[in-house]
Structure 1
Amino acid sequence: MDTADLAGTYTYRSFFEVPEPVDDFNLLRFAQLELRLSVEPGGAISGILVFSEDGDGLLGMDITGKATSGSGVHFTLTGRGQPHTPISDFHYEYEGIVLPHWAEGRNQRQTLAGTVLRAEDHGSGDDLAPAGQTAGFLAVKRDA
């Protein structure tokens, strides 16, 4: 697989790292968003993690990063909230891989998997989200 194959739009889902079984899968939910990626020759990545989109435009984190290929595709991403928005203080770091495809698989979608780290505090007071929170993520590629 080539790093350029990362380009596209994904449904991004991240999950709290809860080791015990849960009765309600929503208890694991950290985020569900839209991830849009572009990849330049050489593996430079840019894009946006979309929190919402309406008539006023997008609310999201700008994504930058790098992809490399070898025995598989590995990528690192940095997400920063767009300036002058309610999430301008967001800063997250991502590390992941493209999951392998099964030759005999049916209806398999390209899926990214990895971990995310809240790299800096955001919010304040009772709404403070402290740095250091981690989660696992999956991002499933949508049709073009």
Structure 2
Amino acid sequence: MNIAELTGTYTYRSFLNRPEPVEDFNKLRFAQLELRLGAEPDGAVNGVLVFSEEPGAEPIAMEMTGRASGSSPVAFTLTGKGRPNSPIADFHYEYDGIALRHWEAGIGQRTTLAGTVLRAADHGSGSSLAKAGQTASFLAVRRDDA
């Protein structure tokens, strides 16, 4: 895979890193969002992580910026920050990930990104304060593969 092939729209899912088995898989859920990435051959990566999108309105999203390496597997780091004057303007997250192997004999396989995410700054306030330092694992499955 080359760096430019990271470009696409993904279903992003992140999971709390709980080691014990759970009967309700939703107890692991951290987020489910839409990730839109554009990657350049020089390694620059930009995009948005969309929280919600109402028809005709500006989506609630974090701007994503970062870099990818041409190593095998392709590795990337991203910084996500809430858009100014939005309900998530104080969001700041850091992402570290790789593009998972594409099996030559795989059937119906889709490009999948995997890694970890760190809440880099507190956001919210009072009882809804989300403290910096929270980590989760993520998978992002590309929607537009053939």
Normalising by the residue count of structure 2, what TM-score does the alignment of the two structures yield?
A: 0.96
Cα distance in 1 for partners of 2:103, 2:8 equals: 21
Per the TM alignment, residue 6 of structure 1 is displaced from its structure 2 partner at its CA by 0.2
User: Does 2:107 match 1:106?
Assistant: yes
Cα distance in 2 for partners of 1:19, 1:41 equals: 38
Cα distance in 1 for partners of 2:128, 2:28 equals: 19
Following superposition, which runs of at least 4 residues in structure 1 exceed 4 angstroms of deviation? Answer: none
Identity %: 66
Q: Deviations over 1:88-130 (max 9, x none)?
A: 0000000000000111111010000000000000001111000
Higher strand share: 1
The CA RMSD over aligned residues, in Å, is 0.8
Cα distance in 1 for partners of 2:115, 2:20 equals: 20
Structure 1, unaligned runs of 5 or more: none
Cα distance in 2 for partners of 1:91, 1:24 equals: 28
Secondary structure of 1:26's partner?
helix
Per the TM alignment, residue 71 of structure 1 is displaced from its structure 2 partner at its CA by 2.2
- The number of equivalent residue pairs is 144
Secondary structure of 1:11's partner?
strand
Secondary structure of 2:35's partner?
strand
Cα distance in 1 for partners of 2:40, 2:111 equals: 19
| Residue matched to 1:51 | 51
Secondary structure of 2:85's partner?
coil
